[in-house]
């Protein structure tokens, strides 16, 4: 139920990844995240995929997310 967290100080402290009024990545205890990736040349672009195959993308470092793909 915590959702995605971020650290801006090398892991010393952590806070919810939502910033600037963003909606954050939806947390679903029945479909946890399987992987999180950062675009190699655009560090504010993040991708997350759930265990069920739902793919999410953020263009603002995790502040807001949009679902890119979901299995039928």
Place of tokens 């953020």: 58
- Per-residue tokens: 37: 């990736």
Q: Which residues pair with 8 in a beta bridge?
A: none
Q: What is the pLDDT of residues 27-42, one digit of tens each?
A: 788 888 899 999 999 9
**Mean pLDDT, residues 1-12 taken together:** 79
Q: What is the pLDDT of residues 14-68, one digit of tens each?
A: 887 776 666 678 778 888 889 999 999 999 999 999 999 999 999 988 888 899 9
Note the pLDDT of residue 25.
80
């Amino acid at each position: 139920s915590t959702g995605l967290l971020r650290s801006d100080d090398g892991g010393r402290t952590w806070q919810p990844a939502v910033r600037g009024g963003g909606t954050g990545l939806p947390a679903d205890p029945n479909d946890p995240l399987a992987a999180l990736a950062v675009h190699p040349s655009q560090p504010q672009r993040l991708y997350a995929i759930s265990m069920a195959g739902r793919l999410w993308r953020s263009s603002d470092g995790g502040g807001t997310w949009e679902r890119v793909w979901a299995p039928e």
